[in-house]
Every structure is written in C-alpha cells, then in structure tokens.
Chains A and B, each alone.
Chain A
Amino acid sequence: MAEVLFFVAGSGAIAGAIGVIAVRNPFYSVLALVSHLVSLALLFLLLRAEFVAAAQVIVYAGAVMVLYVFVVAYVGGQDEPLGPRAGSGLRVVSAIFGAALFLELSVATLGSGLQLIDSGGRPVPAGFGSPEEIGSLLLTKFLLPFEVASFLLLIAAVGAVVLARRRGGLSNAEEQARYSAMDILRPAYTGTMAEAVGERHSLPPGAVVTKTPAEAKAAAEAEAEV
C-alpha cells in the first residue's frame, strides 16, 4: 500500500513540477504547482510528517498560491514564448546542466554510504510528527529559530507593503483635516487611505498645514463664541 501511494504521489509531484516549467501561461504554472504541492504533502504523510504536510497544504496551497494567482491576474498572465530568446543554445546548455545536477545529487545522496538509506528508517513511536511533538519542540529546543522566523515574517510583511504601495500625498489642507485623526503620530500627508489609493500625488507649492482637526474645531468654536 505504501509503495502504491509513493509511486502515485511521487509521479504526481514530478508531473506537477514539469508542468510548472513547461506550460506557457503563468496562470497554469501556478495551478500545476498547486497539484505538485498536494502530491508532495502526500509524500510528507508517508514519511510520518503529519504537521508539516498540513502546514504545507494550508500555507502553500492555500495562502501563497492565492497570492500568486492574484499577482498573475494583476500583472496579466500573458503567454510568453518558452525558452531564451537567443535561440535553443541556452536551452541545450540548461538541459545538460540539469542532467549533471541530477547525477550529482543522486551520487551525493544515494552514494553517501548512509546505512539506513536502504531501509524504511528507524522505528518511530506512534505520535511521531504530530502537532503535539512539533509544538513542544518548537517551544523548547527550537525556541530561538521559532522567534527568528516570526520576526522574519513580520519584516517580509512590512517589506511587501512598502514595495507594493503607491506613493503620493494629499493635496490641500481640507483633505488633510478630514483624514488626519492621528497626525500627531505621523508626518503630515502620509499613511492615509487617500494616499494609498493615489488620490493626490503631490502637495501644491503653497500649501501649509498647521491646524490639526482638534485645533480647527477649537478655533471655529472660539470664533462662534465671539
């Protein structure tokens, strides 16, 4: 049973990988990668890595691929001619490179003289690879990598927002007064929704903003009293 599942999942993973690089339209490449990831999760399950398999399907096939699909739809998934423009010379070179790489990797792994490589691995207890085991390891032995990974995710999220946003500002004092509830905490004309959608791109030369909304309101009230 395990053999049958291995061959089904392994051939599915390899076919998905070939589909990624052989299909002309980037959109179909993304779909091929999704099928590849699901097959790979099956291989992970055969290797008793339940939690990694679940994380693979949820994080990759769920979240990351949705991001890919959005970006492909945004950029425009136009068909591109396969292969380098210079002709088929580079493709031949890359095929030779790929074959050499495969040979090298096979020699490096299969010829490594590891004693257990021709077996199914050491016998493992029943809960091997379960979320419980992984979670307790992540919070005890591997706490530092766990925290560093979370910081890396935060940095990547901030970086993506900075890279992908539009730059620009609000144009006049009224708009600034309308949008700025928190302009003590940030410089004028930045960080507003209007800036994000690119409503205005630059300040007019004469625009000077001095009043916060609270000040403007207080001034208006003072005027009314007078």
Chain B
Amino acid sequence: MDIGWYLAVSALIFTIGAAGVLTRRSPLVILLCLELMLNAANLALIAFARMHGNHDGQIFAIVVLVVAACEVTVGLGVIVAMHRRRLPIDVDEMQELQG
C-alpha cells in the first residue's frame, strides 16, 4: 500500500479526535479523544519511518506512547480528585482553576 493512504487514515483519525474534543463534555471522553489524536500522530510517524526506511520515527512514536501514558495518568488523577470533591464531571461547569 502507498504511504499516502496511511497518512490519509491518520488525518481522518486526527480530525475525528479533534471534533470529539470540541463536542463532548465529559472530561473522560475528552481524554479519550486526546488519545485518538496522539494515535493519529503515531500512525503518521510510523508511516514516515517506513517511507524513509529508518527507525527514527518509530522511536519517536514510542516516546509519544510514553507521554500519552503520563498524560492519561495525571488526567485521570485529576478526574478522581474532582469526583472526590463532589465537583461536577463536566467541562462546561468547570470554568475556574480554583475549585
């Protein structure tokens, strides 16, 4: 398959993720949509690594994987802390940093 097809799939997934971040209200789903966008970037990185025939893009994809795992951990910790303080799990109502 041509590399261009993979890039098209990557662009489509990134777009879907961005639209999800814009439309959904639950921070849990927004985190999931961020994952979608990071995965789309990963797919593009790996497609380019295959295109050039070296491993640098794959290493970059692994680092992105690590950063995504960190982001999920901290984000879910924030959501648990919000839940514990009886704050609404809704980004429309969470408009101030000081809860």
Residues of A within 8 A of B (CB): 2-3, 6, 10, 13-14, 17-18, 20-21, 26, 29-30, 33, 36-37, 40, 43-44, 46-49, 51-52, 55-56, 59-60, 63-64, 67-68, 71-72, 74-76, 80, 82-85, 90-91, 93-95, 97-99, 101-102, 105-106, 109-110, 114, 116-124, 128-129, 133-134, 137-138, 142, 145, 149, 152-153, 155-157, 159-164, 166
Contact = CB atoms under 8 A, between A and B. Distances in A.
A123 to B, nearest CB: 7
Contact of B58 (A20, A43, A129, A161): A129
Interface string B4-26: 11111111111111111011111
A68 B76 contact: yes
A3 B11 contact: no
Interface SS majority for chain A: helix
Given A68-B32, A117-B7, A122 B52 contact: yes
B8 A110 contact: yes
Interface string B71-93: 11110111111011000011010
23 contacts: A21-B16, A21-B20, A26-B28, A26-B32, A43-B9, A47-B49, A52-B46, A55-B62, A56-B65, A75-B89, A80-B24, A80-B90, A91-B23, A98-B22, A101-B18, A102-B12, A109-B4, A109-B11, A110-B4, A134-B55, A142-B59, A163-B78, A163-B80
Given A152-B66, A160-B77, 11 more contacts: A10-B6, A20-B16, A21-B29, A52-B61, A97-B18, A102-B12, A121-B51, A121-B52, A134-B62, A152-B70, A160-B73
B16 to A, nearest CB: 4
Nearest to A64: B72
A122 B53 contact: yes
B5 A68 contact: no
A146 to B, nearest CB: 8
B4 to A, nearest CB: 5
Interface size class of B (residues with CB under 8 A): 35 or more
Contact of A83 (B4, B23, B67, B76): B23
A221 to B, nearest CB: 44
Interface SS majority for chain B: helix
Contacts of A118: 2-4
B24 A55 contact: no
Contacts of B78: 163
Contacts of A14: 9, 12-13, 16
Contact of B47 (A13, A47, A95, A155): A47
A64 B9 CA distance: 23
A117 B51 contact: yes
